[in-house]
Structure 1
Amino acid sequence: MKQVTATGQSVREAVESALAQLHITEEQADISILDKGKKAILGLFGGKPATVLVKKKQNVKEEVVNYLQNIAKEMGIFPKINVKQEGKTYYFQLFDEKIALIIGKRGQTLNALQYLAQLVANQASEQYVTVIIDAENYREKRKETLVQLAHRLAQKVHMTKRSVKLEPMPSYERKIIHSSLLDNPNVKTISEGNEPHRYVVIKPEK
């Protein structure tokens, strides 16, 4: 339950009733007074209860962690999750002996999980935020692999004078390819296609 409408003889009483039902503190709530109520004449006639709407403030970290835990549980995994925030970017690092199931082939499962977690985070946030999901530092290892791949394919393109199309990648992986070859005078890179099937093409520099 994320919100509740409550009544009371006063606004304060109504608010306290709602907070108790939601099991939260006032600092964790958004409170809207729907009706301030009216005291009864002589305590007997014409009274009207106060009515409030209390919503539980959504917490990005909490919402994403709960989402990840629920998904992992369905996979039979109970990972430890470390969370770090830098500005509007949230990093969630997962650790478990079965972590390969979360990563998937070439990180496809991890990328899908990150995409869905991003949606969850932005439903819980009043401003746009970025979510990065990693599993036992897979992303760093993947980055090293992509950098090596980029240089190897760039050399091939330079030698053959033929363009090479890479497999579809999420935007941050494409950025790694582009950045790796930015200073290479022999080739240029462009992204083509539509999400989520957008890919990088390495072309010979004429």
Structure 2
Amino acid sequence: MSAQPMPASDAASAEPAVRAASPRTLREALPVFLRHGSPRILIACVGIAVAARVAAGGWSAWDLVPLVALVLYWPIQEWGIHVFILHAKPRRVFGRTIDLRVPRKHRAHHREPWRLDILFIPMHSFLYTIPILAGVWWLVTPSASLALTGIAAHFALALHYEWVHFLVHTRVTPRNAYYQRLWKSHRRHHFKNENYWFGVTMLSGDRLLGTAPDVADVPTSPTARTLLA
């Protein structure tokens, strides 16, 4: 059974205690991270894909092409999924309110940003994203070996996404300059203004698409914690 979000009033009163219980170091964070289903699935997917790629053999310089393509594509993917799927609002269709499960869970995450059990990729989404991902790589690459390179790298980046996103919502303070930038950007998205800073592990999508302004120029949004205007 999936965890249910608290009512807004309960979430606000519980927030200090929830945050105080979150990990403070990487050593504390790792076992907490590994207790959740999404990281476990992605670790398994990375392992299976890497093993399949090694078994396929035939390594060449062409294996760099899927990797470069992913690095170029990933920030746009993060931006697009965040804007159009995670932040999708309920809509009235033929008199009925359609409120999809994934954006509904993401609104709960904004309302309770320190609750670690509701910040991961929803488990049910793996039922369709894994076959779609495999199918797309098989279609866009000329060989099975290159498809496996792309699949393995894609799963690895997804696992990295989960780890970074998880850490930003703990008390772990990054020391590396790159991760400090990610930490600041995502916290601004949650606590300053939800209409900016959509990238989580790569920020070039925000720069390219105009959602990485100077923080001093951005007003604090009253709906950053609800996503509903």
**TM-score normalised by L of structure 2:** 0.20
Greater Rg by CA: 1
Higher helix proportion, which one? Answer: 2
User: Looking at both structures, which has the greater relative contact order when contacts are Cα pairs under 8 Å and sequence separation is at least 6?
Assistant: 2
**TM-score normalised by L of structure 1:** 0.21
